[in-house]
Amino acid sequence: MTTLYCACCGRPFVRTSARGPAPRYCSQDCRLQMAVRRRAWTPRMEAGRPDNGRMDNGRMETNRTEAAAWGHRAFGS
């Protein structure tokens, strides 16, 4: 079988079955630990996400009509 590495602790483990998607964690403890981390970090990640229509690079998302309305050329035109 294929040797995989746990996404939680990095420990190598062997995939026991080729059926279905590959497991990400070596044990139930690691699955639970990652669920706890996900619950703890989700509010912080959502708080840091901009909700003002901007993308990660800081530019405003616009469509072609909005760009033309401001006198700018839209990409690809």
pLDDT tens-digit readout, 45-55 = 777 766 544 55
Which tokens is 14 given? 């062997």
What does the pLDDT look like over 2-37, one tens digit per residue? 889 999 999 999 988 888 888 999 999 999 999 999
Distance CA 56, CA 33 (A): 29
Query: What is the pLDDT, as a whole number, of residue 45?
Result: 77
Q: Is residue 20 part of a domain?
A: yes
> What backbone phi and psi angles, to 5 degrees, belong to 36?
-65, -45
Q: Is residue 73 part of a domain?
A: no
pTM of structure = 0.51
Q: Domain count of the chain?
A: 1
Beta strands 3-5 and 12-14, pairing class: antiparallel
Domain that holds residue 31: 3-52
Mean pLDDT of the chain: 76
With contact defined as beta carbons under 8 Å apart, do 10 and 20 qualify?
Answer: no
